[in-house]
């Protein structure tokens, strides 16, 4: 059995923020909010958990730094040591100042690329995936709040009309 949802459309981000706060204060669960641009503070108003992408970025950067260190130690010290500019190639630590730009670049490279891959996997964005946007007007100028109905249709309709919604639709999910 498909569940029914209410789509409340708003034409201003400030009105949307107030509406989200009123709906959350009335103890209703908001499934999703679709916006044409990022609305700052909306995640906190909806009660969403903070993102952990910064932690993964740090881990990916450490992986890049480790790969750079192992790669340069193997290539420049163990496999094929060279006398470049009179610098000895006896140990990695003696030559590390020359390797700092490479270490920095690989740290940034790994962090950036692996974060993008993680974001796409976590968001389930695959190539050729169909859009899940319930109303195409949310990509232009309207904001949509989606709330699932649990035998409280009249109460939700009255609440959303009171919050300043310009349009309220009921549809199957």
Full domain range(s) for residue 98: 53-123
- 81-102 pLDDT, tens digit per residue, is 777 777 667 777 777 888 899 9
Report the pLDDT averaged over residues 119-134.
87
CB atoms within 10 A of CB 16: 25
Report whether pLDDT(132) > 60: yes
Q: Are 42 and 19 in contact (CB under 8 A)?
A: no
Band (pLDDT 50/70/90 cuts) for residue 22 is very high
Report whether pLDDT(152) > 80: yes
Asked whether residue 131 is domain-assigned, the answer is no
Q: Say whether both 38 and 61 belong to one domain.
A: no
Report whether pLDDT(1) > 80: no
Q: Say whether both 146 and 96 belong to one domain.
A: no
Tokens of 43: 């995640």
pTM, entire model = 0.71
Asked whether residue 99 is domain-assigned, the answer is yes
pLDDT attached to residue 2: 62
Q: Say whether both 90 and 114 belong to one domain.
A: yes
Report d(CA 97, CA 91) in Å as an integer: 12
**Close Cβ partners of 147 (under 8 Å, ≥ 6 residues apart):** 5, 6, 8, 23, 28, 29, 30, 31, 156, 160
- 6-19 pLDDT, tens digit per residue, is 999 999 999 999 99
Burial zone of 69 (CB within 10 Å; 0-12 exposed, 13-18 middle, 19+ buried)? middle
Asked whether residue 104 is domain-assigned, the answer is yes
At 158, which CATH number? 3.30.70
pLDDT attached to residue 96: 80
């Amino acid at each position: 059995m498909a569940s029914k949802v209410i789509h409340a459309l708003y034409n201003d981000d400030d009105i949307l923020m107030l509406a989200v706060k009123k709906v959350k204060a009335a103890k209703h669960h908001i499934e999703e909010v679709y916006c044409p641009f990022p609305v700052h503070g909306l995640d906190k108003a909806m009660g969403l958990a903070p993102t952990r992408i910064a932690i993964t970025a740090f881990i990916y950067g450490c992986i890049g730094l480790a790969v750079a260190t192992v790669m340069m130690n193997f290539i420049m010290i163990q496999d094929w040591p060279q006398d470049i500019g009179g610098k000895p190639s006896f140990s990695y630590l003696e030559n590390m100042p020359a390797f700092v730009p490479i270490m920095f670049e690989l740290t940034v490279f790994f962090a950036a690329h692996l974060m993008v891959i993680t974001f796409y996997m976590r968001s389930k964005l695959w190539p050729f995936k169909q859009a899940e946007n319930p109303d195409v007007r949310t990509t232009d100028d309207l904001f949509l709040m989606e709330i699932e109905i649990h035998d409280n249709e009249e109460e939700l309709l009255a609440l959303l009309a009171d919050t300043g919604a310009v349009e309220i639709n009921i549809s199957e999910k």
